[in-house]
Amino acid sequence: MPFDFYTYTYDDYFGIYGWYLYIERVRFTLGDLWRCDLQSSYVVGANAAVSDVVGAISAAAEIRPAWWGLPWSYLDRVVVSGTSPNWNLLSRCVVSFGGPLVNAMTGLYNPVNKVGYGGLPFYYDTGAGGIRDARTGQVYTGSRVFLVAVLNTTAPYHRFIILAWGNGGEGTYAAGIWIRNFYYKAWDKYAVVVRWDDTNNNGLPDSYDSYTVLAAWP
């Protein structure tokens, strides 16, 4: 795993300065998404539905974009070229909204019909029309089912890619609400498949609805 480095100085009684070097292994789970605050960029598909954009806006209320001058949102075709993203445009945390069929950034790390980056077992099965768990073979269908995952990447630096997408537009929208309000409930997981239920019957995903984790990794 890559490292983050921390140093500090101290002044002892003799006026001699000493340096300490701390090396910390940093590996995010979903419970660490708050650490992306002011260090995030957002990517949505050029052909994505409006619900993908609304979901991303909802998530941005919790995972706020970078403040140091970089644009914080991009279309996938701007940042993805061939088989790798243009990391020079992206912040430490990259939030990719929309599934692999509509967002090339998602497609790089969570492609259809196969296990994703780092062993991510959840992927969109085009034949079954739902999210398949490669470990069990279980397929989760329905437009209100969605995936949220954090991937710890090593190239070119230690980056964190947050994926959020649903079987349909409702699911992707709901993924944004889940990130904004409930991500801490999966604090020790790298990925979850969740179902949204409109318990208050207003037709929109919100924090008053029910969100059920159907599967988790690990």
Nearest to 159 by CA among 75, 46, 39, 65: 39
Query: Hey, where are the domains in the chain?
Result: 27-217
What tokens were used for 18? 């000493």
- Per-residue pLDDT at 168: 87
Q: What is the mean pLDDT of residues 77-89?
A: 87
What predicted TM-score, i.e. pTM, was given to this entire model?
0.84
More confident residue, 175 or 81: 175
Nearest to 155 by CA among 192, 117, 189: 117
Residue 106 CA, distance from chain mean position: 9
- Structurally, what CATH architecture does the domain formed by 27-217 represent? 2-Layer Sandwich (3.30)
pLDDT digits (tens, 9 = 90+) for 154-165: 866 788 999 999
Confidence of residue 83 (pLDDT cuts 50, 70, 90): confident
DSSP string, 138-196: -EE-STTEEEEEEEEE-SSS-EEEEEEEESSHHHHHHHHHHHHHTGGGGTT-SEEEEEE
Compute how many other C-beta atoms are within 10 angstroms of the C-beta atom of residue 122. Answer: 24
Q: Which amino acid type is present at position 25?
A: R
The whole-angstrom separation of Cα 42 and Cα 201 is: 30
Question: In 3-state terms, what secondary structure has residue 67?
Answer: coil
pLDDT digits (tens, 9 = 90+) for 160-191: 999 999 998 889 999 999 999 998 889 999 99
> Is the pLDDT reported for residue 25 higher than 60?
no
Confidence of residue 23 (pLDDT cuts 50, 70, 90): very low
> Is the pLDDT reported for residue 108 higher than 60?
yes
